Structure 1
């Protein structure tokens, strides 16, 4: 697994994983400008907010509740009597207000505020983020929680927020408080194997959806099984990463974001990871049985380790490629390598 994936490649991985390639070229994340994840995400927030300023922040009707001398909407008589607001010439009213203070705008504002607490953030980028806050007027901050992101409703008229909300959620997941009060730092998710495995898998699936003639899916496969229901219910189903299907070929591709594609015992020479081989052959056997894929083949795909490799062999009667893709190279080379992998 590459120890240091270039920041601009991280950005492209995220764009593919979130299926937002339309924004990939709108933000300058060249190596000389973005040296850290802090800087990368700051640039995304700056450019995203600039876009919203030019095209208009989203607005919607939200329910407001306040004491007011001017009656509007629904009068909460009970609350007004309990608080005796009528003595002040006011009543508690509830009414719908067409406002910029919608949830996705509040999440964006709060995320920018949190980014400004990052101790390693480039000072020029911090100044630009502060300028964006000044443009957000009536939009209020909000206490961020993980479930809050699930409440955001993205539709055709505010689809420009989809990528920004994904970035905001990733920032929320990655920020950690420091010993210095009011400061935060990024937990480098590039070092988190589980998070990177999920990102790598989504990237590969979306890449082939965009750049191949195959029908791309991720089907669940079932074992050939028989026995009591209470026993069968305990058998896990097989969840493939990527399946590629055309009239001529069927491929099951398993993404393996591991530090080592090979294993060695004692002084023995390195060998392919046997667990990975067992898994992919099980997928192939059951895809052949369940989906009727008579010529199914498999690919085990790893991020580059010590060196690039590509092995093409027959295993248990199935064609199997075991290959790597170097995420530390120029993006055009990554693109070419993945396309070449599917060449018969």
Structure 2
């Protein structure tokens, strides 16, 4: 299978030369992208199909057709930001980190060699991580649960089902209508794992991953095969005895239910594992802020608030509900509203607006009116085009109000998740009335 890679908002030229994608493959990938649930979203969908190129938009992940695949990576300024294999390797690592935090998973990626990060696609890396975690989990023992059964037996087992005994076996006392429980591995969680393995076996092109999937398939041979639409996700309860399966459950959900979809695209089958970067950035930052503020006097609400902008005069019905990405509360007061934007702001001297969207400013002014917060923050990803390090890039007063609006950047490629959380905390918690967050 031919594999191609491109950064978001970058283009892959059509053609037969080096660094180009043949027209037939480009057409197939574009058809799969159009059939995706993200078509028309994320800066006009997944791929912009132009006459001489395919241009990636604001959605990242992997799109695969019958004989080719295209990996779309986020534009993150990692240390090797030179278009090299090493750059894409570092971006994959950071993207997996962000996915792990956003989906509340603990993913150990240290065991993967640099060669795998460099030459495997995001999809194959995620499959490898899933298989390694599942192998480790089944070695400790598959989860089991007592399942209720009803059966007609020659000897009593469990309790006697009296109504059924006297209606079905009134003239045959040699059979007893029994109700009993049996410890079984054929439960919803294991059926979901088996379904995930079957699904991934049809998608992976890595010899190593396919071998891992086959080996795990033998472990799940006695588990019932259930079609994906019929899987009973609601029956899975993660508690003390099966806590170690939480991450695997979330990864299976990612593959089978959420961002992953299998689509028909006319000429053939296609698949897509896709994430909107704007949503992923919001979830990632929100969870790190919540982690950073734990144990302080501040409370964090993600997608909270939900105040309405307007109320109809005739019916009193409220319309245009707001959902700020992050609300910071101290007691009953909202002290800061943070809205994340996966966009690039500028620091050009001749652009006092910094490239900030006017609609984003209107949105923040609505938040200022509804939530009465003294601080509003538009949070963007940091990039090398900004002077100095991450932090406050601009501070403004909202006209006629004692409310500040800040434009702030956070470098998602600098340091560990805990380091990033610590820098986010400095942005929120004041010291002696001053913001600790400042330009380096």
- Shared fold (TM-score, shorter chain, > 0.5): yes
Contact 1:261 1:273 in 2 (8 A): no
SS of 2:115 mapped into structure 1? coil
Structure 1: gaps of 5 or more residues: 263-268
Equivalent residue for 1:176? Answer: 262
Q: Secondary structure at the match of 2:192?
A: helix
**What secondary structure is seen at the aligned counterpart in 2 of 1:153?**
coil
Which has the larger displacement, 152-161 or 68-77?
A: 68-77
* Alpha-carbon separation, structure 2, partners of 1:226 and 1:199: 32
Alignment of 1:3-14 (within 5 A): 3=8, 4-5=73-74, 6-14=91-99
More relative contact order, 1 or 2 (CA 8 Å, 6+ apart): 1
Alignment partner of 1:312 out of 394, 400, 411: 394
Alignment of 1:217-296 (within 5 A): 217-218=301-302, 219-223=304-308, 228=313, 230-231=315-316, 233-245=317-329, 250-257=335-342, 271-288=355-372, 293=373, 296=374
TM-score normalized by structure 2?
0.60
Q: What RMSD in Å do the two structures reach over aligned CA positions?
A: 3.9
Distance 1:201 1:255, change over 3 A: same
Change beyond 3 A, Cα 1:326–1:221: same
Structure 1 partner of 2:223: 139
Could you list the per-position Cα deviations for residues 56-112 of structure 1 after superposition, in whole angstroms to 9, with x for gaps in the alignment? Answer: 11100123466777764567669979xxxx9xx989866432101110111011101
Conserved? CA contact 2:311–2:319, under 8 Å: no
What is the alpha-carbon distance in structure 2 between the residues aligned to residue 300 and residue 95 of structure 1?
59
Whichever structure has more strand as a proportion of its residues is: 2
Label 1:111 to 1:179 Cα distance change in 2 as closer, same or farther (>3 A).
same
Superposed, which structure 2 residues align to 1:1-344 within 5 Å?
3=8, 4-5=73-74, 6-20=91-105, 23-25=106-108, 28-29=111-112, 32-34=115-117, 35-64=120-149, 72=157, 95-118=180-203, 120-145=204-229, 148-173=232-257, 174-176=260-262, 186-190=271-275, 193=276, 196-212=277-293, 213=296, 214-218=298-302, 219-223=304-308, 228=313, 230-231=315-316, 233-245=317-329, 250-257=335-342, 271-288=355-372, 293=373, 296-303=374-381, 307-308=385-386, 311-316=393-398, 317-327=402-412, 329-332=413-416, 335=420, 338=424, 341-342=427-428, 343-344=436-437
Contact 2:325/2:339 (<8 A) preserved: yes
The number of residue pairs the alignment matches comes to 314
Decide which structure has greater helix share: 1
Question: TM (normalized to structure 1)?
Answer: 0.74
Cα distance, 1:51–1:313 mapped onto 2, change above 3 Å: same
| Alignment partners' CA distance in 2, 1:257 and 1:90 | 68
CA distance in 2, matches of 1:143, 1:204: 35
